[in-house]
Structure 1
Amino acid sequence: MSAGIGTARGTALCVGAVLGPGVLVLPAMAVRAAGPASLLAWAALLLVSAQIAISFAALGTCYPDSGGVAAFTRRAFGDRTADVVGCWLLAAVPVGVVAGATAGARYTTAALNAPARTALVITVVLLAVVYSANLVGLHLSARMQLLLTGVLIGMLIAVMVAAGPRVDLDRMTPFAPYGIAGIGSAVAVLFVAICGWEATANLSAEFTDPRQIRRAAMASLTVIVVLYTGLAWCTVGVLGDEAGTTTVPLMRLLAPAERPWIAAVVAMAAVLFTVAASVTFVAAGARAGLSLAHHGILPARLAVTHRGEPRRSVAAQAAAAALVTAAAAKAPHVITVEALMRTFAALLACVTLLGLTAAVRLLPTRRQRLNAGVAALAVATVAALSGLFLLAPAAIVLAVLIHRHHTRPPVPPSLPDGNDHSSRHPDATATTAVLR
């Protein structure tokens, strides 16, 4: 039997997936887009985040499966839709991980006043740490995530305690200088802040007890809402309009910039946030790769594990991340961090939307289905704001349809009783073995 992950480690993985390096810059970006009214955008998105977390926790409890959202959509809508969703997630992971590592590296470089060229070196080192952690297996990376999450929560609480007394309500006026359009723009920017719940769904089969999925989701949701709310309030109340003009808002929140130790704290925070978020996404991507390989969308050799660990799938993800990093380094003015983050957000918005739509069809109670439906409408609205970045998920849909037209994916063998027990699917067997 697998040792599994419990509520504490599951909470750490969930918090790490949602609370990423974006926390270093997103509150300031939202202020630049909407002014103090960015607080309304935060409130709306955190409410949507709660609905998403509840829906995916319910799905994970009812149908624990390492295939995650792809497995849920396979149950609800069949193989073709599931393959598309799995490929969306698979493509999103290297894009998002590289965007996060680059943003964290640049933030660290700025905080330490280091030469700009060191950002690429830091990016490569961060990616190496993240993928190495996943190569040794989820059991160890979950322990590391628990430690990282505790440190990060402590850092953010320290920021809020230090900045709280300096909040000035006069900075709240004018409240909405850019009107409704500004608030809508802030919502589009901040969607990255609530990405991550769809990735944690891939870990549902790893829990020792399915009931722990809901506990971990609720605990992580509470932590995330408190931290994001506190940071958004402090950013608006302490920095005001200045938040949109600084590249290191967290440093400005802590204390006056001339204190040298602040730079070291901020640089450490940037590194830890990057690693904490990326570990969970890479784990989810590796498991999505296993599922797609089992269903014939990816080469069968990616479904091979080494002592139960999906090392080939992780290595494939690392190769993809290396290609994205090289492309971004070659064309930094075209493949920017913002472009990568918005592409990442567009892909994950589509993944989340299909997962929530599946929840409407699969969840047992009317209340659960209604909650998922409301969340799906909200995410669809946000996805529409992605504009041209929706070309990325559209291109993947076309590629999957062409692939399915020319090949016939093998059907996984049925279980003796004829039922679809997801937790016993080859995908789940391979990935839970990582914990042995």
Structure 2
Amino acid sequence: MTARLPHSGSLGTARGTALYLGAVLGPGVLALPGLAAAAAGPAAIVAWVALLLLSIPVAATFAELGARRPDAGGVATFTRAAFGDRAAAVCGWWFFSVIPVGASSAALVGAAYIADAAGLSRNHGATVAIAAGLLATAFAANHIGLRLSGGAQLVLMGLLTALLAAACAAALPHFDPANLTPFAPKGIPGILSAAAVLFYAFSGWEAASHLSGEFKDPARQLRRVTALALAVVAAVYLSLAAATAGVLGSGTGATPLTDLLAFGFGPAAAPLTAVCAALLSLGAMNTFIAGASRLGAALARDGSMPALLAKGHEPGRTPHRSLMLLAALTGTAFTAATALGLGLDQQMRATSAVLAAVTVLACAAAVRLLTGRARRRALFATVCTAAIATALTWYLLLPLAIAGLALAYLRRRPAPVLEAPLPEPTGAASS
């Protein structure tokens, strides 16, 4: 058994769980229950349950890999250990490149609800300004440091969970079994369509893997943090799915959370939903930005990105240069999306396609690196995620294009900043 490597991370279990929740409980939860219900009717709850079950082996696989190889490189580190430098660079570029699009869409979702509550829904400029403010807040929190952003995340996720619980508690007394019939009006194709739409809500475990090196004791904490996050995600998603199907029924609109909160809070539902939107957006952006910035520094350390970005790759340090590049790319993506009028559906599907590619490659790496029961879980996660990803059709051309760019950069073969060996397994059990 290999001795544990010393770590200088600062994350404890509570802050770590909050950051993990921020990665999974994104702003998509505001609209996805309605979209899934439109695709499959009450049977959308079958898709919710199926994807929750898939989340268990996916999350467990990332926890196992992170516990064994805690490093800012996250999925790139796992992939390098299994398949070498080129695969690691591709996987790392996938994740780093998609965050600007994902952060932009998250900010716009939150901003739309905030603008609606403020009576500014018809003022496009106001929505854009609010979204820009949310992005600036998330990047500022990460520049100040992960300890502060982790503490802020803990508060955000606590408030968010309370509001979502209040929405379900207020609505469930109005549950009407008649709303569940017909249960599957569009049959199996409708359920599969709902699952494809809901895939966006279940990505995020790969983002948190880049924070594995920031934990005080990764081998001990990661399994606990993952289990806690899974429990909260399951409770929130299943409650929302049940309330949407049994309370709203065929009357489910584009903003089901506002409709559910209206049962308990009346006219106050809109501003409460705006609070939820802000919390969800900031929470998701906070974790994804934290993970991607550390990944960028780790990729630079290993020669897969420009060497000047490597500063701050060590646990406990803030990678300011990587953050600045990420901010510049996010600003560019945000400006382009608003100028070209790209819809949130397009941005979410593009994000999902790239994150699905990351998950498939990282889980495939786990199949090679792990043994026993952990390896079987990883194989199941790889196959199921790849199958669901096929529903994203031509959006899968995006990760192919990014892979081409990553391999083209690697042909330059820049020298690594330091000769750091791959993180050795810490002796975490793999079965």
Provide TM-score, normalisation by structure 2: 0.93
Structure-2 separation of matches of 1:201 and 1:304: 20
Which residue of structure 1 lines up, in the alignment, with residue 379 of structure 2?
Answer: 373
Find 1:328's aligned residue among 337, 359, 376. Answer: 337
Give the CA deviation at 1:257.
10
Which residue of structure 1 lines up, in the alignment, with residue 74 of structure 2?
Answer: 68
Query: 5 Å matches for 1:36-435?
Result: 36-114=42-120, 115-117=122-124, 118-210=126-218, 211-243=220-252, 246-255=253-262, 259-305=266-312, 308-332=317-341, 335-363=342-370, 365-405=371-411, 407-411=412-416, 413-414=418-419, 420-421=422-423
* Residue identity in the other structure for 2:359: T
Structure-1 separation of matches of 2:254 and 2:47: 21
Asked if 1 retains the 8 angstrom alpha-carbon contact of 2:296 and 2:322, the reply is yes
Structure-2 separation of matches of 1:391 and 1:188: 17
Gapped regions of structure 1 (runs ≥ 5):
425-436
Give the CA deviation at 1:3.
5.3
Runs of 4+ in 1 over 4 A off after TM superposition: 411-415
Structure-2 separation of matches of 1:279 and 1:249: 25
Asked if 2 retains the 8 angstrom alpha-carbon contact of 1:49 and 1:194, the reply is yes
Structure-2 separation of matches of 1:258 and 1:147: 22
Give the CA deviation at 1:413.
4.7
* Residue identity in the other structure for 2:213: A
* Residue identity in the other structure for 2:204: G
* Residue identity in the other structure for 2:345: E
Give the CA deviation at 1:240.
1.0
Give the CA deviation at 1:4.
1.4
Which residue of structure 1 lines up, in the alignment, with residue 3 of structure 2?
Answer: none
Give the CA deviation at 1:304.
2.4
Aligned residues: 415
Asked if 2 retains the 8 angstrom alpha-carbon contact of 1:251 and 1:257, the reply is no
Structure-2 separation of matches of 1:346 and 1:160: 30
Give the CA deviation at 1:315.
1.1
For residue 385 of structure 1, give the secondary structure of its aligned residue in structure 2. helix
Gapped regions of structure 2 (runs ≥ 5):
1-6, 427-431
Give the CA deviation at 1:179.
1.5
How big is each residue's C-alpha offset from its partner over 1:359-393, in whole Å with a ceiling of 9 and x where there is no partner?
11112x31110011101111001111111111110
Structure-1 separation of matches of 2:123 and 2:255: 15
Structure-2 separation of matches of 1:104 and 1:63: 35
* Residue identity in the other structure for 2:378: A
Asked if 2 retains the 8 angstrom alpha-carbon contact of 1:14 and 1:220, the reply is yes
Asked if 2 retains the 8 angstrom alpha-carbon contact of 1:107 and 1:247, the reply is no
For residue 386 of structure 1, give the secondary structure of its aligned residue in structure 2. helix
Which residue of structure 2 lines up, in the alignment, with residue 432 of structure 1?
Answer: none
How big is each residue's C-alpha offset from its partner over 1:312-369, in whole Å with a ceiling of 9 and x where there is no partner?
111111111111111111111xx21111110000000000001111111112x31110
- Distance verdict in 2 for CA 1:104–1:132, change over 3 Å: same
Asked if 2 retains the 8 angstrom alpha-carbon contact of 1:95 and 1:344, the reply is yes
For residue 247 of structure 1, give the secondary structure of its aligned residue in structure 2. coil
